[in-house]
Amino acid sequence: MKSLILSMLLLLSLNAGMNNNNEEELKEKIKAMSVEKFARTLANKTASAVPIKIDAITTVTKVVALENSVSYFKSIDLNHEMMKGKWENKSEYFKTVMFDQDSKIVCRVDFLNHMIVNKGLVLKYYYTDTEHRPLFSYTVNKQDCLELEN
CB 124 within 8 A of CB 69: yes
| Burial of 136 per CB tally in 10 Å (0-12, 13-18, 19+) | middle
Cα–Cα distance, 45 to 88 (Å, whole number): 35
- In order of 4, 51, 117, the CA distances from 55 in angstroms are 12, 12, 28
What rounded mean pLDDT belongs to the chain? 85
* pLDDT beyond 90 at 125: yes
* Maximum distance among all Cα pairs of the chain, rounded to whole angstroms: 52
pLDDT top residue among 23 and 3: 23
Predicted local distance difference test score (pLDDT) of residue 10: 46
Report the percent of the chain where pLDDT is more than 70. 85
Cα–Cα distance, 13 to 25 (Å, whole number): 10
- In order of 17, 42, 44, 79, 86, the CA distances from 48 in angstroms are 19, 10, 6, 27, 32
143 CB-near residues (< 8 Å, 6+ apart):
none
Mean pLDDT of all residues in 5-23: 52
**pLDDT confidence band for 90 (50 / 70 / 90):** confident
pTM: 0.84
Predicted local distance difference test score (pLDDT) of residue 21: 55
